[in-house]
C-alpha cells in the first residue's frame, strides 16, 4: 500500500492501465509532456511515449469526436477535458453520438472510452472553472457517470471505467486533488461501478453525497455525534447507473434523509434521489427529505465560501431532520 493523494492515485491508475493494455491511449489539452494543468498525467509521456499519451488541439468536440472514432475501432481512449466547464462544446458528441452508439447500431458497435474531467469548486476558480454539471449527463441513457471521493476509489473506479465497454464520464473533484491522502494498493485493481460506499455508519440520519462533499458530510457527522445524533454517510460513487437498491436500503434504515451536493439545487442530482426515495420508500420516511446544495446562481468567485455547502449548513439540515 502506498499513501497517495487523489491526484497521485489517478496518475497511478492511468499508468497501470497503459501498462496492462496497449490499446489504452491518454490524450487532451496539455496532458503530454507538461502532464496536464493539475499534473494528473505527469511523466506518462516520458514513460510510454507520445504515441500513447499526447497533446491535442484546443478543441473539445474534436477531442471527443476523435475518441469515439478510436473506441469504435478497437482502442480504449482516455480523453481529458481540462475543466468540466469546458465540456459543453463536446456535449453533442457525448450525448448524441457516444451515448447512443450501442443502441443505434443494435449492439454492433460500442464506445469503450473514458472522459476524465475535473469539476466543482474549492480552488477559487470563479464561474468558468468551478461548475458541477453532473445532472446534464445523468439525464442521458447510455452513459455512465462516476465521481470518486477517496484516493483508493479514484484509482479503482478509474480502472473499472477504462475496462467498461461503454462510455464513462469520470468527474474528478479538484478540491480533493491534493487535500487528502489515503492508502492505495499497488498494481491493478478495480472498484465495481454502480456500488455505494458507506463512509460512516449511523442509525439516526442518512446523508447521501459524492465527490468533494463527502469530507464535508463526514465533518458534519462528527459534529452531530457530539450532540448525540448518529449519522450514516453514504458515498454514491457512481451516479449513473445508480445503485437504487442500495440508496433505498440506506434511507429505510434511518427514515431520515439529507442529500448533499455542490451543484445548484433546481433540477440537481439530489432531486432525483429525493424522488426515488419518496416514490419507493415513503412509508419508511419519518421526516421531510432535506437538500443541502449550491445556489441557483452562476458560481461566484469572491463568495465561493458562501456558495459551497459547508459542515455548518449540513449539520443544520441533520438537526432539523432529526428533530422533526
Only one residue has cell 480502472, namely 159
CA gyration radius, the chain = 19
Write the CA distances from 104 to 66, 74, 97, 137, 140, integer angstroms: 19, 18, 9, 19, 14
Only one residue has cell 456535449, namely 91
Strand partners, 264: 294
Cell reading at 324: 422533526
Exposed e or buried b per residue across 75-92, where buried means at least 16 C-beta atoms within 10 angstroms of its C-beta: bbbbbbbbbbbbbeebbe
Only one residue has cell 491511449, namely 25
Contact 143, 98 (CB under 8 A): yes
Using DSSP's 3-state secondary structure scheme, residue 220 falls into helix
Residue in 129, 152, 261, 322 annotated catalytic? 129
Is 129 noted as a catalytic residue in this protein?
Answer: yes
Nearest CA-CA partner of 144 in 165, 163, 114, 169: 169
Active site residues: 129
Amino acid at each position: 500500500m502506498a499513501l497517495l493523494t487523489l491526484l497521485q492515485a489517478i496518475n497511478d491508475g492511468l499508468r497501470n492501465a497503459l501498462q496492462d493494455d496497449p490499446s489504452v491511449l491518454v490524450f487532451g489539452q496539455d496532458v503530454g509532456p507538461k502532464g496536464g494543468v493539475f499534473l494528473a498525467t505527469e511523466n506518462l509521456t516520458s514513460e510510454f511515449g507520445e504515441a500513447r499519451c499526447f497533446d491535442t488541439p484546443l478543441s473539445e468536440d474534436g477531442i471527443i469526436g476523435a475518441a469515439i472514432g478510436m473506441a469504435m475501432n478497437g482502442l480504449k481512449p482516455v480523453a481529458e477535458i481540462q475543466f468540466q466547464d469546458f465540456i459543453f462544446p463536446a456535449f453533442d458528441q457525448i450525448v448524441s453520438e457516444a451515448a447512443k452508439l450501442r443502441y443505434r447500431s443494435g449492439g454492433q458497435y460500442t464506445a469503450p472510452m473514458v472522459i476524465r474531467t475535473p469539476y466543482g469548486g474549492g480552488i477559487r476558480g470563479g464561474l468558468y472553472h468551478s461548475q458541477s454539471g453532473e445532472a446534464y449527463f445523468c439525464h442521458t441513457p447510455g452513459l455512465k457517470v462516476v465521481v470518486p471521493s477517496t484516493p483508493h476509489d479514484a484509482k479503482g473506479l478509474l480502472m473499472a471505467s477504462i475496462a467498461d465497454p461503454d462510455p464513462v464520464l469520470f468527474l474528478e473533484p479538484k478540491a480533493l486533488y491534493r487535500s487528502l491522502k489515503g492508502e492505495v494498493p499497488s498494481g491493478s485493481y478495480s472498484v465495481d461501478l454502480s456500488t455505494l460506499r458507506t463512509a460512516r455508519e449511523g442509525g439516526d440520519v442518512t446523508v447521501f453525497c459524492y465527490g468533494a462533499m463527502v469530507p464535508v458530510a463526514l465533518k458534519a457527522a462528527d459534529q452531530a455525534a457530539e450532540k448525540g445524533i448518529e449519522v450514516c454517510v453514504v458515498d454514491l460513487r457512481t451516479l449513473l447507473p445508480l445503485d437504487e437498491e442500495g440508496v433505498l436500503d440506506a434511507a429505510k434504515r434511518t427514515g431520515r434523509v439529507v442529500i448533499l451536493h455542490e451543484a445548484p439545487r433546481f433540477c440537481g442530482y439530489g432531486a432525483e434521489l429525493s424522488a426515488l426515495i419518496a416514490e419507493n420508500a415513503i412509508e419508511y420516511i419519518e421526516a421531510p427529505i432535506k437538500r443541502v446544495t449550491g445556489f441557483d446562481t452562476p458560481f461566484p468567485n469572491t463568495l465561493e465560501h458562501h456558495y459551497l455547502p459547508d459542515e455548518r449548513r449540513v449539520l443544520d439540515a441533520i438537526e432539523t431532520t432529526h428533530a422533526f
